[in-house]
Structure 1
Amino acid sequence: MRFAPLAAWIVLGIWAAPAVADEAHDWLERLAQAERAQSYQGTFIYERNGSFSTHAIWRRVEGEGSHERLLQLDGMPQEVVRVDDQISCVTGSLADQLSTGPLWPSRQLIAAQLQQSYELRLVGKSRVAGRAAVVLALLPRDQHRYGIELHVDMQSGLPLKSLLLSDKGQLLERFQFTRLNTSMPATKSLQGGAGCQPLRPAVTQIETDPVWQSDWLPPGFALHASTQRRSPASDEAVACLVYGDGLARFSVFLEPLRGAAAEDLRSQVGPTTAVSRRVQTEQGDVMVTVVGEIPMGTAERVALSMRALPAEEAP
């Protein structure tokens, strides 16, 4: 069975032959289970803004524990090792780019949580890295999020290819396996190289009750975490709020300026948008920065909607 890429569905806004929704949901649940429980090793390519890089990955799952290693194969060797989703070692240039979670871009999707914001379809079959796959498409119901196309391995349930696309069908980001082996990786292959050094966090992060809130959020997004960290530039306390809709995520950072000069900024690299806006509050100006995989207009609207909770409303 042939299929049209998700880009065509987004541009045209139609579906050629709707499949049974339950079957698509079953594949999505199987994918989520495989990402939690399946060991594997392989190589994949990452594409963003027309730039490609190649990576090797090893992941071993035993009981409730996991051990992962990611090694960039292009240019200077860069790698990171995680044990139970916590960074064990990393090369210096990667230290500021990592967050908790699997190294392969697991999205931990739950079909029931996505129905408000996405239309899930089973749109065909494909072949990736020599393996048969089914193709799932998650079509956004509004302009505040991107679409995603997932090619799911029929044998293991793992995602073989993941495409993130804009509302105009523009490819924003691609992860695609070129080789996948679902056998258990050897212990030696999970060990970091000589350049992989234990991570010493540059900032301290603690869980906190939120003292900021947004007067507007894209439909389907909810607050997932509220933390506070120290800015490495000014040693100022920075509040961080993380929002998600079950697929997309974005973070809001709020840093008091204390009279410091700061300019509004906006940028986008692939699917990642960053918007900084100076906001006036009763306690002084605050720089609000929104970073995440959401469209520019959505990020700007979130940034301008942030407000500090009055003392009587704060937890």
Structure 2
Amino acid sequence: MRVFPLLLLGGFLAVPVHAADAQDWLSRLAKADRQNLQGVFVYERNGSFSTHSIWRRVEADGKVEERLLQMDGPAQEVVRIDGETQCISNGLADQLEGEAWPARPLDPEKLSEWYDIRVIGESRIAGRQAIKLVILPRDQHRYGFELYLDRETSLPLKSLLLNEKGQLLERFQFTQLDTSSQPDSKLLEPGPGCRSVHVPEPKEQARAGWHLEWLPPGFTLNGVRKRRSPASGETVTYLMYGDGLARFSVFLEPLRGAMVEDARSQLGPTAAVSKRVATADGDMMVTVIGEIPLGTAERIALSMRAGDEAHLAQ
């Protein structure tokens, strides 16, 4: 499970701090995932809450083991080693391939081209002192974050993702966090419902044969993959794009004469837009899914064209 929290600052009074200080905190955040921890956090999306336990164990040789377990409702879990998903619960398995993004480091200097990054003060989360940052989009094609980083470890203790009207789209917040000791290895062992998975290596990257005539500024193509659709059994090509923080995928599925209507929806921060596109080889359904505004997702879907080969970002 990805924990990269995505504003209207309204009544907040920004503390005059150099932008370099904010970028320094983001640089610390990028390195904060290599330390021992165990804790409990709540996740809110579209008015629904869930509680999760998380364990991370860093071995002397540098290997990082992580386990995430949902504590209410179905016992969903994910186990990762060095960022690679090892197993995942059945209810999440079908989502994995679409979320299997190439690992890319957080680059504060690059992000500053597309976001205004500020330190606006301090707070206290889960009994720990936190630095409050805001990451404000410079255009309408991405969301901003309100981010609370642990002063001691730089771990994200809380994040809020709000749309341009100040409405909450997603909340992540620790209620308990212990970074003082290494979790017992038994706590990292997967439960019986955790299903082994295979994520294609970069060398297995597919070639798309499609391109976007319009792409939001700052977004680049991070990868091209193929998967089998659980609904139709068809092989679906999907292209993954990101700006270093926000990301979306474009799925290309042959329709084979199936009658499928265009669709658009928004669930919390996730937009989904499907458009039928006619090609020389028959109609295709182009579906854009990602944590971007709905209007941006729709424009991307309308910009997808068959033809020139899509090339991976260098």
Q: TM-score, normalised by structure 1?
A: 0.88
The correspondence of residues 239-250 of structure 1 with structure 2, limited to 5 A, is 239-250=237-248
Q: Does 1:87 align with 2:85?
A: yes
Using the alignment, how far apart are the partners of 2:122 and 2:105 within structure 1?
Answer: 22
Give the whole-Å Cα distance in 1 for the aligned partners of 2:242 and 2:191.
35
Asked if the contact 1:213–1:309 (Cα under 8 Å) also holds between the matched residues in 2, the reply is: yes
| Cα separation, 2, equivalents of 1:129 and 1:107 | 29
Give the alignment of 1:220-299 within 5 angstroms: 220-299=218-297
CA RMSD of aligned residues (A): 2.4
**Structure 1: distance between partners of 2:75 and 2:269:** 25
1:176 aligns with 2:173: yes
Aligned-pair CA distance for 1:55: 0.4
Report Cα offsets for 1:20-65 as digits up to 9, x if no partner.
Answer: 1111111110011112x22211000000112111000001123442
1:107 CA drift (Å): 8.9
Please give the residue correspondences for 1:180-219 in structure 2 after superposition, counting only pairs within 5 Å. 180-182=177-179, 183-199=181-197, 206-219=204-217
Relative distance call for 1:314 and 1:176 in structure 2 (3 A) is closer
Corresponding residue number in structure 2 for 1:152:
149
Give the 3-state SS of the residue equivalent to 1:7 in structure 2: coil
* C-alpha distance 134-255 of structure 1, shift in aligned 2 (>3 A): same
Contact persistence 1:23–1:122 (CA under 8 A): yes
The answer on whether the counterparts of 1:206 and 1:229 sit within 8 Å (CA) in structure 2 is no
The match for 2:132 is 135
Residue number in structure 2 paired with 1:7: 7
1:97: Cα distance to partner?
Answer: 3.0
Shift of the 273–8 alpha-carbon distance from structure 1 to 2, 3 Å rule, reads closer
Task: Pick closer, same or farther for the CA change 1:121–1:107 going to 2, 3 Å.
Answer: farther
Residue equivalent to 2:307: 309
Q: Which residue does 1:41 correspond to in 2?
A: 38
Equivalenced residue count is: 299
- Which residue is equivalent to 2:49? 52
Pick one of 90, 107, 110 that aligns with 2:107: 110
Shift of 1:284: 1.8
SS in structure 2 of the partner of residue 94 of structure 1: helix
Q: 1:210 to 1:100 in 2, by over 3 A?
A: closer
SS at match of 2:239: strand
Given residue 176 of structure 1, which amino acid in structure 2 is its aligned partner?
Q
**Structure 2 vs 1, CA of residues 101 and 191 (structure 1 numbering), >3 Å: closer, same or farther?**
farther
Alpha-carbon offset, residue 88 of structure 1? 2.4
Q: Distance in 2 between matches of 1:67 and 1:291?
A: 29
* Gapped regions of structure 1 (runs ≥ 5): 1-5
1:71 Cα offset (Å): 0.9
Gap runs ≥5 in structure 2: 1-5
Distance 1:16 1:77 in 2: 41
The one-letter code of the counterpart of 2:32 is A
Distance 1:16 1:132, change over 3 A: closer
Aligned equivalents of 1:44, 1:51: Cα separation in 2: 14
Q: Does 1:96 align with 2:107?
A: no
When the two structures are superposed, what TM-score results if normalisation uses the length of structure 2? 0.88
| Larger mean Cα displacement after TM superposition, 16-25 or 124-133 | 16-25
Query: 1:52-103 CA distances to partner (integer Å, 9 max, x unpaired)?
Result: 110000011234422111111112322221223233233211212333479x
Evaluate the alpha carbon distance shift between residue 82 and residue 17 of structure 1 in structure 2; reply closer, same or farther with a 3 A threshold. closer
After superposition, give the CA deviation of every residue in 1:247-300 in whole Å (9 maximum; x if it has no partner).
100000011112111111111111011110001122221100000000000000
Deviations 1:132-170 (A, max 9, x none): 010111000111100101100010111101111101111
Does residue 61 (structure 1) correspond to residue 58 (structure 2)? The answer is yes
Letter of the 2:283 counterpart: D
| C-alpha distance in 2 between matches for 1:132 and 1:17 | 17
Name the aligned partner's letter for residue 132 of structure 1.
Q
- Work out whether residues 211 and 310 of structure 2, in 8 Å CA contact, stay in contact via their aligned partners in 1: no
Q: Report the identity percentage.
A: 59
Distance 1:290 1:314, change over 3 A: closer
